[in-house]
Amino acid sequence: MQPIQYRMRHLSTAVVLAAGLAGAGCSTSPTNAQIGTGVGAVAGGVAGNVLFGSTAGTVGGAAAGALIGNEVGKRAR
């Protein structure tokens, strides 16, 4: 078992890195293509999981949804 100080150091490092990443991600507004990619990936992942019920189906659906969402987002004004 690891000492509590070792685990707390790793936990605090992870929290600081996650907060920095979250702050950097909010530095600019996302484009329509980026929004479409995110929404498409989530919707495709859910659809892939429902249709195939496996990890491969979920990942495949998310990839397909991201590609389609990106293209739709590029065309949106």
Tell me the whole-structure pTM to 2 decimals: 0.63
The 3 state secondary structure assigned to 44-76 is HHHHHHHHHCCHHHHHHHHHHHHHHHHHHHHHC
Separation of alpha carbons 30 and 35, rounded Å: 6
Q: For 20-69, what is each residue's pLDDT tens digit? A: 888 777 777 788 888 899 999 999 999 999 999 888 999 999 999 999 99
Residue 31, SS3 per DSSP? coil
In this predicted structure, what is the pLDDT of residue 77?
A: 63
Residue 26, SS3 per DSSP? coil
Contact by Cβ (8 Å): 41, 58: no
